Amino acid sequence: MNTILIANPKGGSGKTTMSTNLAGYFASRGRHVVLSDMDRQRSATAWLNRRPVSLPLIHGLDGRGKHADSLSAEWSIIDSPAGLHGDKLSDAVKRADWVVVPIQPSAFDIGATEDFLEILRAEKAIRKERTFVAMVGIRVDPRTKTALKLQEFLDQAGFPVMTNLRDGQVYMQAAEQGMSIFDMRPSLVKRDVQQWAPLLHWLINADRNAK
Ligand SMILES: Nc1ncnc2c1ncn2[C@@H]1O[C@H](COP(=O)(O)OP(=O)(O)O)[C@@H](O)[C@H]1O
Ligand SMILES: [Mg+2]
């Protein structure tokens, strides 16, 4: 099983959006996907409940019961709550093959993420390179000063920046309809799908099931 933990202590940084879209992507490729919702707000679970039955199946877990390993998933995607810390964070990091950290270009988001990255750097599983961390810029407009500030911050963060996603209405539309951008009409999401490619490429190349 490939396990991806989506984490950032800041609320609204894009965790559930990353989680649902990653789950939607792997499902659209015919993979057996489990989406685990660790957040009490249950946004990922609500998204799954809105998902049309005609779309590729994603198995949902609400974090209270079984673990994804008992479902023999190929891809286990874990959406985490804001403020995940301490033993719960360490445990989740240890179980994951990857931690994907979405971050928006604002002083508040950068400030909140700074300490979190420090904690990640100190995690044993990450130091021993058993778990890998990737950053993803969210709602990034490369022409802005804030995007430059985010870039500067990420350059010294010590983790690779896999991609930057633009601020796109399609993410809100997809969320409302229980869809990922990978379930939408290709002409609507061409640019967005392209922006996901480097992150997906990185994950797929390390796919354990494929080896
Ligand atoms: N790239 C994006 N473009 C536009 N809106 C986005 C993008 N990523 C996230 N959002 C929106 O930002 C809000 C917060 O994202 P969400 O994924 O719920 O964050 P979190 O789970 O970290 O609290 C949501 O309304 C979501 O639709
Ligand atoms: Mg969320």
Q: What is the DSSP string of 159-193?
A: S-EEEE----HHHHHHHHTT--GGGS-HHHHHHHH
Tell how far the Cα of 78 is from the centroid of ligand 2, in angstroms. 11
Which ligand 1 atom lies nearest to the CA of residue 138? 1
C-alpha to C-alpha distance for 208 and 190, rounded to whole angstroms: 28
Phi/psi for 174 (5° steps) reads -60, -45
**Ligand in closest contact with the CA of 13:** 1
Tell how far the Cα of 37 is from the centroid of ligand 2, in angstroms. 9
Fold topology of 2-210: Rossmann fold (3.40.50)
C-alpha to C-alpha distance for 109 and 106, rounded to whole angstroms: 5
pLDDT of residue 62: 85
β partners of residue 135: 101, 161
Q: Which residue has the tokens 């500030």?
A: 149
Per-residue pLDDT tens digits for 168-181: 999 999 999 999 99
C-alpha to C-alpha distance for 27 and 56, rounded to whole angstroms: 6
Per-residue pLDDT tens digits for 90-142: 999 999 999 999 999 999 999 999 999 999 999 999 999 999 999 999 999 99
C-alpha to C-alpha distance for 146 and 64, rounded to whole angstroms: 39
pTM given for the model: 0.96
pLDDT of residue 72: 83
Nearest residue to 111 via CA among 10, 4, 3, 183? 10
pLDDT of residue 209 exceeding 90, the answer is no
- CB-proximal residues (5 Å) to ion ligand 2: 15-16, 43
Which ligand 1 atom lies nearest to the CA of residue 11? 23
Tell how far the Cα of 173 is from the centroid of ligand 1, in angstroms. 11
Domain-wise residue ranges, the chain: 2-210
